[in-house]
Chains A and B, each alone.
Chain A
Amino acid sequence: MNEGSETAAGHDEGASVENSRLRDFAHVFFRNRMASIGLCILAALLVIAISAPAIAPYEYDEQDLLATLEWPSAKHVFGTDEFGRDVFSRVIYATRISVTVGIVSVSIGMFFGGMLGAVSGFYGGIVDELVMRVVDVLLAIPSILFAIAIAASLGPGLFNMMLAVGVSSIPYYARILRGSVLSIREQEFIEASRAIGSSSVRILLRHVIPNCLAPIIVQGTLGVADGILYAAALSFIGLGIQPPTPEWGGMLSGGRTYIRDYSYMTLFPGLAIVITILALNFVGDALRDALDPKLRD
């Protein structure tokens, strides 16, 4: 319809709009100093996970039976465990599994739980009744038991474990998102979009869900911690990662028996979990703010 030059100009402007949006987003995101710290930590974790063989001084399953249960020293920075394995190397290698498990299981729970809750809250009526009663039943089962049941039926393995942890968290995300959807659904801009002729799916995806993100992002960043710990619990009873593959939660539960005399065995993997969660929370907070246009200058 337009002349060529106009079209080109339109495209350029369109591109600059996208750029400035990204800039706005980045501006708010990095205004929160904690977010930068969190992002740095997460980046560091990524690097550690990828280059674990280069960083770790020993193999994660390398046993030195002459040096079992040694306190941290120059040779073994984080000490050694009951099999004489270097705790530092194991913590480094464990980054790969733990971070993956935490993030993937939360993503599964957040996506399916969020969708379920959103659909349930948005359509209401019989759909809502049905979904929410099922969710209630699932919430009545302690989620660790639920995860164990799923993992047991799927069999051990990394992916099955992530699936089990993710699925068991679905009811929580469904509840949270349904709550926010119920309040957003009644807003006038939803009616305005319907007046324009938008389909329900479009309204749900474009108007309802983006306005419901804040609580679920916060829950999600906290959920990563839960995910790592549940994974540890599953590994502990033999349904998750099989030894000797290192994993933070597994190391925690493995070192539990020695916690009085050799506390370093639980201290370091515990610290690793704490730091990861903290970084995710910082990023989550900043993300929530940056996604809300009202908080932009």
Chain B
Amino acid sequence: MTDTDALLDVRNIKKIFDTKQGPLHAIDDVSFTIKKGETLGLVGESGCGKSTLGRVLIRLVEATDGSAWFGGKDIFSLNGAQMKQMRKRMQIVFQDPYSSLNPRLNIADLIAEPLIVHKVCSSASDMKSRVMKLMDMVGLARRLHNAFPHELDGGRRQRIGVARALALDPEFIVLDEPVSALDVCIQAQILNLLSALKREANYTYLFISHNMSVVKHVSDRIAVMYLGKIVELADYESIFDEPAHPYTQALLSAIPIPQPGARKDRILLEGEVPSPIDLPPGCRFSPRCSRREDICELEQPELAEFKPGHSVACHVFARGGRYQGTYAPQDQIK
């Protein structure tokens, strides 16, 4: 893919961790693009490499191989000083607002940190007013500026995390499961906040989550990840209307329908996720796939576009074998 309007163009990223048991393929040859102003939802179960991917993109973890082009520059080839400048343009919001905030700093200090590190404020009062503005933006009451993280609930803490990410006015923000540590009602608040911020400032998000029903609220396009690979990538409508990969279908069938008596055929996956150290030779999903054929166990399927904007990595699908299984009626899921 060579989108010219792509803000982020990720090509063939690999991340292999060396473990005692052998190389662990956390991310294996992942490519995608994100357009400016778009939200790409990245879903997958725990351990599939989605958080690692987010961290690799902002170089909290170094990629083993591949490139990521952001605004015409390969992020992975930047040196320390260039990367520091780049960090102004790309930020991250962490999953756990309890452990991602230094317990010894108060809110004003926490939000001011990026401003101090990048020396963007001319004076103490300028800093102060910026911090206050950021607190307003994320809906934190100004009186809380002197409070410490442990005095606040999870939602407010996550708002601090968002304010820190926004402080440098970035273009691209990795949202690494920003709501999965929160209560459901607070999840909605934070999701609404993120959407509202995006409408105002046209941020580009990579929204990482294991929860389909969260991702569907915010995403323009959705990438489904399984064991270090993207198995399906399509716009929001297509994923929900005609999911191509058996794994995507299984994920979708797991979304609860908020309607008493609603019937749906749950696709239950059998077996365990294979170890990322000892991967199956063919399709990674093949040991659990109900549509498995001989080729699936021998050859890895490539992610290929079968119609504009909708790619899938599945042998069976590629040969025209549309999946016949049923899953939840679409209007109820959406």
Q: Residues of A at under 8 Å CB distance from B?
A: 1-2, 6-7, 10-11, 13-14, 17, 20-21, 187-189, 191-199, 202, 206-207, 210-211, 292-294, 296
Contacts and interface: CB of A to CB of B under 8 A. Distances in A.
B291 interface: no
A20 B146 contact: yes
A192 B128 contact: no
Most buried by A among B60, B102, B108: B102
A11 B83 CA distance: 33
B87 A195 contact: yes
B2 interface: no
B113 A6 contact: no
B117 interface: yes
Given A188-B94, A195-B87, A211-B102, A7 B123 contact: yes
Nearest to B98: A188
A199 B119 CA distance: 13
A189 B100 contact: yes
Nearest to A17: B146
Interface of B: 55, 58, 60, 83-84, 87-88, 91-92, 94, 96, 99-104, 106, 108, 113-114, 117-118, 122-126, 128-129, 145-146, 148, 150, 161, 164, 168
Most buried by B among A10, A197, A296: A197
Given A11-B124, A189-B101, A293-B104, 15 more contacts: A6-B129, A10-B128, A10-B129, A14-B128, A21-B146, A191-B55, A192-B92, A192-B94, A192-B161, A195-B92, A197-B117, A199-B117, A202-B117, A210-B102, A293-B150
B109 to A, nearest CB: 9
Nearest to A195: B92
Nearest to B122: A1
A194 B60 contact: yes
A202 B112 CA distance: 14
22 contacts: A1-B123, A1-B126, A6-B125, A6-B129, A7-B123, A7-B125, A10-B124, A11-B124, A17-B146, A21-B146, A188-B94, A189-B102, A192-B100, A192-B161, A192-B164, A195-B91, A197-B87, A199-B117, A210-B102, A211-B103, A211-B104, A294-B150
